[in-house]
Structure 1
């Protein structure tokens, strides 16, 4: 939805209206109940995201995904497969990868030992260079 908002130039005030329009079935019933329980008359986009994620992506699941990320190693994967999995799981760790340098270092740490030592010798600074 965030990508759609960017393309359609949706204002912050309209985001919740747009998203709630697309909710179907159980999600729509949940939203109607959740909205009725909210004390504020206008629910912000940030508040919507929080209550939505609390419902559909609870903290224990977020923690599981973080653990999967921190345990990720290249092992039997090709570098491309490892990079794909790394990118997929990286979105769950937030501030841990808030710079390109941190992202590059973490990616490098998960490489096979023989490959990691060869990459380390080049002292690459960016994620793209390490990949």
Structure 2
């Protein structure tokens, strides 16, 4: 009888605390794994300025396309970029990195780009491109083509034209008058929104 009572007694309600299931799309974004995926993409190398003065810009653009796939942090971007620098460029980064970290303890990709372009674009070339940027207008081109050249030249923009509101206003003023006049009424302060609105005009 005692045994039957024991069998019929309520059992303790044990709750097992299993960890939540890992999302199916979860990725290991540790630096070692990011580097592993980075190498598989076979990104281009950079050593110095070639006969084409736009080569530094093209290398940076290629790296940024790679980073879009990897979804990595700024610190990982700098590690990956440093891995692709060779010869003169590698020596430049070895001496520049400690100085950059003094002013920016956790340097960003944008800060790396500023230092990189400052070194690998000749001053005369930067001055020429800055003048092109200041004078840039849409002309007879499509808005999309104008926006692409605006984007290419923006790095050479004077310091006072670098914040988002000024960038938006510069883009607006360079559009065809029939487009810029209409967009001026909207008083758009965001560059991204300005580009989006401009592309909606069939006239562009």
TM-score normalised to the size of structure 2? 0.45
Matches within 5 A, 1:31-50: 43-45=95-97
| Aligned residues between the structures | 116
Per the alignment, do residues 81 and 62 of structure 1 end up closer, same or farther by CA in structure 2, a change over 3 Å counting? same
Match of 2:132 in 1: 68
Matches within 5 A, 1:64-103: 64-93=128-157, 95-103=159-167
In terms of fraction of residues, the more helix-rich structure is 1
Q: Which has the higher contact order (CA 8 A, sep 6+)?
A: 1
Matches within 5 A, 1:52-67: 53-54=118-119, 56-67=120-131
**Tell me, which stretches of 5 or more residues in structure 1 are unaligned?**
36-41
RMSD: 3.6
Deviation (angstroms), 1:47:
5.8
**Tell me, which stretches of 5 or more residues in structure 2 are unaligned?**
1-59, 101-111, 196-204
1:49-77 Cα distance to aligned partner (Å, 9 max, x none) = 769854x4210000011011011100111
Structure (1 or 2) with the larger CA radius of gyration: 2
